[in-house]
Amino acid sequence: MLRHKIRATRFRWMFIGLLLLAVQPSVSAKQSTLTFRAPDPGPVGDAVTEILEEAYQQLGISLQYVDMPRNRSLVEANNGRISGELGRLPDLEASYTNLKRVPFELFAFETVLVADRRVCGLCTLDDIENAAFVGGMQTVLAALEEANFNKPTVQTVDINQLHLMFSNKRVQAVLLNDFEARQLGYYQQPHLIVTPIRQQLGYHYLHQQHAHLIEPLNDILEAMHERGRVTEIYQNHGVRFQRTNTFEKPPYFSQISATAGLWRTLTHVDGSGRYWQLVKRIFEPVTDSLTLNTNSYQRAVLGLNEQRFDFLVGGVKNQVTLQGVESLTHFDYDRDLYAFTMDQNAMDALLNGELKQPVCYVAGYGYHALFKEGLIFYQADSSLDCFAMLDMGRMGAVVNYRENMPDWITTPYVQYKLRDAVPVHLIFHDNPRGRELRDWFDYRLRQLVKNGEIKEIFSDTMLERSHLIKNVPPKP
């Protein structure tokens, strides 16, 4: 059986080798076809392919592709058995001397580390026990070497195998490009934290036998960029490149305003509370005016959405009522979320989408996606209002946290857990100012945790709940 697999593998590579020889273009200037490794499926690869195909078409050249691993394609390209590389890192020619770079900056990306916040907190390279990445990714290899990472690593054949290993918890973390992480949905999963590791630009490479094409191809690509065609193609594929600010020096904002709902011990109206302490520690040094606004959560959400405040403290990922982008780094976890009813029949009707009376929740959150369609929802100003109306029979159910149950109850509610606790974020506007504020928050929060300053603000209980205790240095 093993010999059969070996023979099949050898035959496959012999077939690919013959195919490469068959499609290898002539060295002369009259060639009409160039061959490259087939890009990994996804929006960025599709956009890059379209851009290059359109540019080469103006030179009378068409492109074709062959499937092969990334590592092998570098060898094949350097040996001239394929025409080059569609998109690779700069300085590739230092190791593969026959490859020549087209100067046009084809795309920008970040190498990121993805892991479970509940396992490693901030999840930097220092915090994980092992990692996996797709073989042949120079960005990852360079980042691991730069960080002197000496823990176990696994190199996979492709992105699908990488995702399978991570999903099955065979590795604690994966390293990949940010656009691949978006393609796999990692940014949308609440418990996954995406940690930027390294920023890079991608370039197109040609084998030296095609070096005469570099200058005219570069001129065409520059012209396509000038008239907005490159941006248009990326937009058509839903690709938007965003590079994280790295802050060689602190930014400056003339004024910053923040809003939050009213939470006991966390966000008081007078600006005290642990969440407000954190906000002041991070943003007061970079502004002349920091305004803190505590209100009902509904008003806080509306204030953010109407752009009356720069950010909201206490949002969760994928919250449909919020318009903005969340911090990559969480600063706390909320509690397990429950449904409450007066009896089991009402709970059964609720879960089956058949409850006739309204479901009460605190305005600003929005929990419709947790239930089947057909229910009626009512927004109240406070948790106590919801429970009071449930007791009076005006509501059929309440969605809330156990910690918010009233003290007056004499008969226990029927309870059903709708979801586990999820990470809590700051939510910013999705514009350049908002993203700069977000990046500064992520940058400084990580510093506060890593140097132990966070213990001056958060209690040990909060650090345990948020899983950030894993990253706080031990007491000397």
Same domain, 218 and 164: no
Residue 149 lies in a domain: yes
Burial 4-34 (b: 16+ CB within 10 A, else e): eeeeeeeeeeeebeeebeebbbeeeeebeeb
The residue length of the chain stands at 476
Q: Are residues 97 and 15 in the same domain?
A: yes
Instruction: With H, G, I as helix, E, B as strand and everything else as coil, classify residue 296.
Output: coil
Same domain, 430 and 302: yes
Residue 215 sits in the same domain as residue 317: no
Instruction: Kindly state the tokens that stand for 340.
Output: 């409450």
Count the neighbouring beta carbons within 10 Å of the beta carbon of residue 59. Answer: 15
What is the average per-residue pLDDT within 339-345?
A: 97
- Domain presence at residue 93: yes
On whether residue 121 sits in a domain, the answer given is: yes
369-393: average pLDDT = 94
Structural domain total, the chain: 4
pLDDT digits (tens, 9 = 90+) for 7-60: 344 444 444 444 444 444 433 345 589 999 999 888 888 999 999 999 999 999
Structural domain including 394 reads: 337-419
d(CA 218, CA 203): 11
Cα 83 to Cα 7: distance, rounded to the nearest angstrom: 28
DSSP for 217-272, written as a single string:
HHHHHHHHHHTTHHHHHHHHTT----PPP--SS---BS-EEEEEE-BTTTB-TTS-
**3-class state of residue 397 by DSSP:** strand
CATH number of the domain residue 327 falls in: 3.40.190.10
Residue 3, in any domain of the structure: no
Same domain? For 280 and 390 the reply is: no
pTM of the model: 0.81
Calpha distance 149→141 (Å, rounded): 10
Residue type present at position 35: T
Is 243's pLDDT higher than 70? Answer: yes
- Nearest Cα neighbor of 365 from 325, 412, 400 is 400
Residues 355, 272 share a domain = no
Section 172-199 average pLDDT: 93
- Domain identity same for 343 and 230: no
Would the pLDDT of 402 be above 90?
yes
> Cβ of 74: how many Cβ atoms within 10 Å?
22
| pLDDT value of position 5 | 35
- On whether both 20 and 90 belong to a single domain, the answer is yes
Q: Is residue 6 part of a domain?
A: no
For residues 316 and 267, state if they share a domain. yes
d(CA 125, CA 78): 32
Domain end: 419, 446, 462, which one?
A: 419
Q: Is residue 374 domain-resident?
A: yes
Is residue 248 a part of any domain in this protein? Answer: no
Give per-residue pLDDT as tens, 405-460: 998 887 899 999 999 999 999 999 999 999 999 999 999 999 999 999 999 999 99
| Share of residues in the chain with pLDDT > 90 (%) | 75
Judge if 312 and 439 occupy the same domain.
yes
> Measured between alpha carbons, how far is residue 434 from residues 256, 325, 437, 439 in Å?
11, 8, 5, 9
Strands 337-341 and 325-326: unpaired
The verdict on residue 245 lying in a domain is: no
In a shared domain, residues 72 and 141 = no
- 105: which 2 tokens? 């900056």
* Mean pLDDT value across residues 295-323: 93
With 0-12 / 13-18 / 19 or more C-beta atoms within 10 angstroms meaning exposed / middle / buried, residue 470 is middle
Predicted local confidence at residue 270, as pLDDT: 95
Q: Per-residue pLDDT tens for 251-301? A: 999 999 999 999 889 999 999 999 999 999 999 999 999 999 999 999 999
Q: Are residues 124 and 195 in the same domain?
A: yes
